[in-house]
Amino acid sequence: MDHGLAELLGELEEFGSTNDAATDDRSRKMLNITHDTGVFLALLVKASKAKKVLEIGTSNGYSTLWLADAVGEDGTVTTIEQAPHKRAMAERNFQRAGLGPRIQQIEDEAGRFIATCDAGEYDFIFLDSDRGQYAGWWSSLQRILADGHLLVVDNAISHAHQVEDFNRLVAASDGYLSSLSPIGKGELVILKENA
């Protein structure tokens, strides 16, 4: 990671923390992943040689920057965010980081978008959005994740009660191996085994 990106990420960490402490309005909070989660995601993306990443929940682009740096020059990150003010903030951050060309921003409801994606289109998926929707998305997520690749769910410990239904579906699905990692707010790592 180059020095400029590391500095920008540090600035965004400080901004997110200060911003979120100053408001009770959830829609105005950044709710960024933790720094150690960013490192963990980058490690997973690089180790799995992922080149087509899908992120659901952009916020101000903090996690997107970790993913976009990790995929390298020949990779892409597609990131979905509905809130216009957060998309605009993220766009500015992507340009500042010089990673804009690797990132495709989508303004849509995530369930609707993933229903239109091709089978096996993504080799890494990161969920950091409306946890109550995950169970409903599971069949689409299974279809669009390439065999032998990973799906990671943020807040799997901090908001465990909100992902219970999703966890049950994953556990009941053949061909998936999952592990809960106590990094950040809890990262559930799910491997779609080769068919």
Q: Tell me the H-state helices in the chain.
A: 3-21, 35-47, 62-71, 84-97, 110-115, 134-144, 164-172
Query: How far is the C-alpha of 45 from the C-alpha of 57, rounded, in Å?
Result: 17
Sorting pLDDT into bands at 50, 70 and 90, what band is 80? very high
Task: Give the phi and the psi of residue 146 in degrees, each rounded to 5.
Answer: -70, 150
Q: What is the pLDDT at residue 145? A: 98
Count of beta carbons in the 10 Å neighbourhood of residue 148: 13
Percent of the chain with pLDDT over 90: 86
* Between 124 and 13, the higher pLDDT residue: 124
Task: Decide if pLDDT at 112 tops 90.
Answer: yes
Task: Decide if pLDDT at 123 tops 80.
Answer: yes
Judge whether 116 and 92 are in contact, CB under 8 Å.
no
What would the mean pLDDT of 135-153 be, rounded to a whole number?
98
Query: How far is the C-alpha of 16 from the C-alpha of 18, rounded, in Å?
Result: 6
Global model pTM greater than 0.85? yes
Residue extents of the structural domains in the chain = 32-192
Query: How far is the C-alpha of 89 from the C-alpha of 66, rounded, in Å?
Result: 16
pLDDT in tens, 96-110: 999 999 999 999 999
Task: Decide if pLDDT at 195 tops 80.
Answer: no
Instruction: State whether CATH 3.40.50.150 applies to domain 32-192.
Output: yes
Task: Decide if pLDDT at 32 tops 80.
Answer: yes
Query: How far is the C-alpha of 97 from the C-alpha of 91, rounded, in Å?
Result: 10
Task: Give the phi and the psi of residue 87 in degrees, each rounded to 5.
Answer: -60, -40
